[in-house]
């Protein structure tokens, strides 16, 4: 039964290794190079990283199997492997694009013109951006649970200083709270890793998938690791740290935090549930996960609606959109009988992660420009913003369409796949949640647009929109919409290498 899952090295297996090592090397070199050097290095690495991500996707798609590389020729369980499956390639591409757009946008704020002295924010931003990039790439291609722990560490230690880059007291407090949640998550995850090693003598996901049984150690480990990862992903009720941390960061940092960082731990939950223990039926636990997701969708959207500040609204919208990600879990476990429904739920979940990344990055960048241009981000006083900053408002609206799930957009495709899968699986209550969440999202997006399109009291005439930055944000928003135009067949890529298909249902 295991012939479908091989850990033999494949041609092009070096691509995922390079996808991880180039940004990490960039981060290490950033320190001696200084802020200006780090900035230039980042821009040199961006096109290379994007090409590597495209190459990984192309090679995976062409061969129909994951790319595998054995580090130092040592095969698991003794050694470590990188394994880039469909999910990994989708995330590699997303990360390369979001990081690239954010870097272009951030030049205005964190750039170091020649001849000027190095600033703290500049050196920190460019090196931390590279660190986030390397960490997210590692989190999606590593095949070993301890290597993934190191990826989580890198991700946390890069994200936490990004959240408090402006050095204000409130943002330091928010970052500290984030760190507490994240460290609690790390400890719980590590406890589970130790238990799994004690039970099976390996930490390789592919090998664990073949060995894991429904023993007490497996169940306790899975519960601890899931809880820890949820704290890092900010699934309600462990979301308390997210809104102040994401809303207080500089716009470029918020974009990366909301679009990518929370997705790293989410991918790990997926790997744990459908990789490490695909054969373990846990329908009740999956229902609990999705119930938390549903609560996040409803309560997060309602909280977004109640916010007086634009940045906090966008941050609460992230809390809600994370909820959608967890709807795929009961649909995947219930759909073991119907491979087609499981595939649909899987694609829906991955597409939600990707389209939310583009939409939310676009939204944070646009909102950052608006807050800077207007000098505030009070929603009630946004009147006239539509005339002063049309590109930003268009970006906000387009990204909002994708978040709502209005066709045609990537968000629509994701939510439609989840919705139909829920109905096919006989779990219609999730369909209601998806529809209700869409309505609430529509309301809070409309609330912003309605105020911004009014005349206002006229003092916005002097506000100029930085065109270059606004176009970057708009491009991301367009991307989140264009995803919805792709034919469904194109998403076959994300199905490649699914471990629950190869091993599922046969514990």
Partner 1 sequence: MTGLLADLLIGAAILALAAGTVTARSAFTATAFFIAYGLLLALAWVRLGAVDIALTEAAISAGLSGLLLLGAASRLAACPVAEERAPGPVLKALIGLCCAAVSAAVGYAILSLPEPAPSLAEEAMAHLSVTALGNPVAGVLMSYRALDTLLEAAVVVLAVIGVWSLAPAGGWGGVPGPIHPRIEQGPLALLARLLPPIGIVVAFHILWVGSYAPGGKFQAAAILAAMWLLAWLAGLATPPRISSRRLRLAISAGTGLFLAIGMFGVLAEGAFLAYPPALTKALMLAVEFALAGSIAVALALLVMGPPEPEDRA
List residues near partner 1 by CB under 8 A: 9, 14, 17, 21, 24-25, 27-32, 34, 69-74, 77-80, 117-120, 123-124, 127-128, 131, 134, 138, 146-147, 150-151, 153-154, 157-158, 160-161, 164-165, 167, 172, 188, 191, 195, 198-202, 215-217, 219-221, 223-224
* Beta carbon of residue 286, minimum distance to partner 1 (angstroms, whole number): 19
Residue 203 vs 312, nearer CB to partner 1: 203
Rounded distance between C-alpha atoms, residue 186 and residue 227, angstroms: 10
Residue 149 vs 444, nearer CB to partner 1: 149
Contacts of range 8-11, beta carbons closer than 8 Å, 24 or more positions apart: 8/68, 9/68, 9/69, 9/70, 10/63, 10/65, 10/66, 10/67, 10/68, 10/69, 11/59, 11/63
Which residue, 32, 151, 35, 28, is CA-closest to 91?
151
Residue 216 vs 426, nearer CB to partner 1: 216
Residue 240 vs 453, nearer CB to partner 1: 240
Backbone φ, ψ for residue 84 (5° rounding): -95, 100
Residue 90 vs 195, nearer CB to partner 1: 195
**Residue linked to tokens 């290379």:** 48
The 3-class SS string of 68-121 reads EEEHHHCCCCCCCEEEECHHHHHHHHHHHHHHHHHHHHHHHHHCCCCCCCCCHH
Residue 191 vs 295, nearer CB to partner 1: 191
Instruction: Map residue 418 onto helix, strand or coil.
Output: helix
Rounded distance between C-alpha atoms, residue 399 and residue 367, angstroms: 11
* Beta carbon of residue 220, minimum distance to partner 1 (angstroms, whole number): 4
Rounded distance between C-alpha atoms, residue 390 and residue 369, angstroms: 11
Q: How far is CA 26 from CA 56, 345, 487, in A?
A: 20, 37, 36
Residue 431 zone, left/alpha/beta (φ > 0; ψ -120 to 50; rest)? alpha
Structure tokens at 299: 């309560």
Which residue, 418, 398, 268, is CA-closest to 330?
418
Query: Which helix (H) or strand (E) segment is 257 a member of?
Result: none
Residue 112 vs 402, nearer CB to partner 1: 112
Which residue, 169, 323, 156, is CA-closest to 244?
169
Q: Which sign does the torsion angle of CA 82, 84, 85, 91 carry?
A: positive
Residue 250 vs 456, nearer CB to partner 1: 250
Q: What is the largest CA-CA distance in the chain?
A: 70
* Beta carbon of residue 3, minimum distance to partner 1 (angstroms, whole number): 23
Residue 13 vs 300, nearer CB to partner 1: 13
Rounded distance between C-alpha atoms, residue 65 and residue 55, angstroms: 14
Rounded distance between C-alpha atoms, residue 241 and residue 181, angstroms: 7
- DSSP state, 67? E
Distance of CA 231 to the CA centre of its chain: 14
Q: How far is CA 382 from CA 171, 202, 316, 399, 415, in A?
A: 24, 56, 19, 18, 30
Residue 62 vs 78, nearer CB to partner 1: 78
Residue 80 vs 95, nearer CB to partner 1: 80
Query: Which helix (H) or strand (E) segment is 404 a member of?
Result: helix 390-404
Residue 94 vs 202, nearer CB to partner 1: 202
- Check if the beta carbon of residue 23 is closer than 8 Å to that of residue 49: yes
């Amino acid at each position: 039964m295991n012939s479908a899952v091989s850990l033999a090295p494949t041609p092009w297996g070096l691509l995922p290794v390079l996808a991880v090592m180039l940004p990490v090397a960039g981060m290490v070199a950033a320190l001696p190079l200084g802020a200006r050097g780090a900035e230039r290095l980042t821009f040199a690495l961006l096109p290379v990283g994007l090409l590597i991500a495209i190459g990984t996707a192309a090679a995976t798609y062409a061969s129909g199997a994951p790319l595998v590389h054995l580090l130092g020729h040592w095969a698991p369980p003794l050694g470590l492997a990188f394994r880039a499956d469909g999910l990994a390639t989708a995330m590699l591409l997303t990360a390369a694009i979001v990081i690239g757009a954010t870097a272009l946008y951030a030049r205005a704020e964190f750039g170091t013109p020649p001849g000027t002295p190095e600033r703290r924010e500049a050196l920190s931003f460019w090196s931390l951006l590279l660190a986030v990039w390397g960490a997210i790439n590692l989190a999606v291609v590593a095949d070993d649970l301890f290597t993934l722990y190191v990826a989580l560490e890198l991700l946390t230690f890069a994200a936490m200083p990004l959240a408090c880059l402006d050095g204000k007291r409130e943002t330091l407090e928010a970052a500290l709270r984030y760190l507490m949640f994240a460290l609690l998550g790390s400890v719980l995850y590590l406890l589970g890793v130790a238990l799994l090693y004690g039970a099976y003598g390996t930490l390789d996901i592919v090998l664990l998938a073949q060995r894991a049984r429904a023993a007490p150690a497996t169940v306790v480990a899975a519960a601890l690791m899931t809880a820890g990862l949820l704290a890092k992903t900010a699934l309600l009720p462990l979301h308390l740290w997210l809104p102040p941390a994401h809303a207080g960061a500089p716009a470029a940092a918020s974009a990366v935090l909301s679009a990518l960082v929370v997705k790293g731990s989410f991918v790990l939950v997926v790997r744990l549930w459908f990789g490490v223990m695909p054969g373990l039926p846990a329908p009740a636990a999956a229902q609990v996960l999705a119930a938390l997701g549903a609560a996040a969708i409803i309560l997060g959207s309602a909280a977004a609606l109640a916010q007086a500040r634009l940045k906090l609204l966008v941050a609460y919208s992230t809390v809600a959109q994370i909820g959608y990600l967890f709807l795929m879990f009961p649909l995947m476990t219930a759909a073991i009988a119907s491979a087609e429904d499981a595939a649909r739920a899987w694609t829906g979940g991955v597409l939600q992660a990707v389209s939310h990344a583009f939409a939310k990055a676009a939204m944070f960048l646009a909102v950052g420009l608006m807050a800077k241009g207007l000098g505030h981000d009070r929603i009630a006083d946004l009147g006239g913003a539509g005339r002063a900053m049309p590109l930003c408002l268009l970006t906000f609206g387009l990204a909002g369409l994708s978040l709502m799930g209005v066709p045609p957009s990537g968000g629509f495709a994701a939510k439609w796949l989840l919705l139909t899968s829920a109905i096919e699986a006989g779990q219609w209550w999730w369909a209601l949640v998806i529809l209700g969440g869409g309505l609430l999202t529509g309301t809070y997006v409309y609330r912003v647009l309605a105020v911004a399109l009014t005349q206002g009291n006229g003092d916005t005439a002097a506000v100029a929109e930085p065109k270059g930055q606004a176009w970057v944000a708009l491009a991301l928003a367009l991307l989140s919409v264009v995803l919805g135009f792709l034919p469904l067949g194109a998403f076959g890529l994300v199905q490649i290498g699914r471990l629950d298909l190869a091993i599922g249902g046969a514990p």
